[in-house]
Amino acid sequence: DVKVTQSSRYLVKRTGEKVFLECVQDMDHENMFWYRQDPGLGLRLIYFSYDVKMKEKGDIPEGYSVSREKKERFSLILESASTNQTSMYLCASSFPQGRNYGYTFGSGTRLTVV
């Protein structure tokens, strides 16, 4: 069964900590994405990557960075966590023809910053 695996389901971090959220896919997908999901706001794109070492900003990149050193792994980094980054984070991947096949999502990481 093909998968997108997010390393943690739940995380609690302190304000100011550097936080790493990891995502691994086993489908040889070129594209990978990070979204955050908040009640009433739907899914908002943070960053995406369409190749190793490539990245593009999404709609809300402020306060985040990403790393893609290998095709199967896409990491989201919160350089200095703040309480307004408390959210559900969803990773997804797709082939370049995402318009035809859609995305495969991970199960999500619920991050709480205290």
Partner 1 sequence: GNSVTQMEGPVTLSEEAFLTINCTYTATGYPSLFWYVQYPGEGLQLLLKATKADDKGSNKGFEATYRKETTSFHLEKGSVQVSDSAVYFCALSSGSARQLTFGSGTQLTVLP
Residues of this chain that interact with partner 1 (CB under 8 A) are 4, 6, 31, 33, 40-43, 45, 48, 50, 58, 90, 92, 94, 96, 98-100, 102-108
- What is the smallest separation between the CB atom of 111 and partner 1, expressed in angstroms? 14
Could you give the residue ranges of the DSSP H alpha helices within 1-114?
Answer: 98-101
- What is the smallest separation between the CB atom of 15 and partner 1, expressed in angstroms? 25
- What is the smallest separation between the CB atom of 42 and partner 1, expressed in angstroms? 4
Q: What is the CA radius of gyration of the chain?
A: 13
Q: Which is nearer to partner 1, 75 or 106 (CB)?
A: 106
Buried b vs exposed e over 49-61: b needs ≥16 C-beta within 10 Å? Answer: bbeeeebeebeee
